[in-house]
Amino acid sequence: MDLNTIFFIGPQGSGKGTQARLLAKKLGFYYWEMGAILREVGKENSKLGKEVKNMVDNGILLPDEMLYEVVESKLSEIPSNKGVIFDGIPRRIGQAEFLLTYLTTQGRKNFTTLFIDLPKEESEKRLLLRAKKEGRADDTKETIANRLKQFYYATWPVVEFLKQRSNFIEVDGSPALEEVTQTINLKLELI
């Protein structure tokens, strides 16, 4: 399988961040974690940096146009022959359309989507456990339920979009971490 650009998508608690990092390390790809990218841009002493920092600090989602500006400026720093794994973007249809169009102009043609599926109840259970372990007071049953509702409302159309426009691979996120990693490697023909 010719891998160049991989999108990791899955509900919160599915382990997609962990799996994306492991795969990026294995393949020597650039790991693009949208939250970390935004925090990095927020440290820059530029107009965009200050706007991003203000929005991130106040928990406001960036408007798509601003997000595209961040994506364009950061992606231009990555050589087009270096593989990239995206985690945390695209989250909405407009973002998916923009990203695929922009990446294509950068010479990237092979898109793979890894959708890590996890039942809603299991996501809630894992997130509550993580919140308790990490002492995160902001992760209550209500906020978790709200985030998952947002995922299914805003991101589900992206899943359908990427099914049509990328090599779409669905993985069950329920088993243990190692087993999910093994399944991903198998489906990507890395074993």
Domains held by the chain: number: 1
Residue 159 sits in a domain whose CATH number is 3.40.50.300
In the numeric block, which tokens belong to residue 21?
Answer: 């990092």
Residue 167, domain extent: 5-187
- In sequence order, what are the beta bridge partners of 164? none
- State the pairing for strand pair 111-117/84-87: unpaired
pLDDT at residue 138, as a whole number: 67
CB 27, CB 114: distance < 8 Å: no
CB 90, CB 154: distance < 8 Å: no
| Mean of the per-residue pLDDT values of the chain | 91
Peptide bond into 90 cis (omega under 30): yes
Is it the case that residue 133 has pLDDT exceeding 90? no
Give the other-Cβ count within 10 Å of 83's Cβ.
Answer: 19
The pLDDT > 90 percentage for the chain reads 64
Nearest residue to 41 (alpha-carbon basis) of 20, 63, 70, 16: 70
What is the arithmetic mean of pLDDT over 41-52? 92
- State the pairing for strand pair 30-33/167-172: unpaired
Global confidence as pTM:
0.91
- In sequence order, what are the beta bridge partners of 7? 86, 113
Is it the case that residue 59 has pLDDT exceeding 80? no
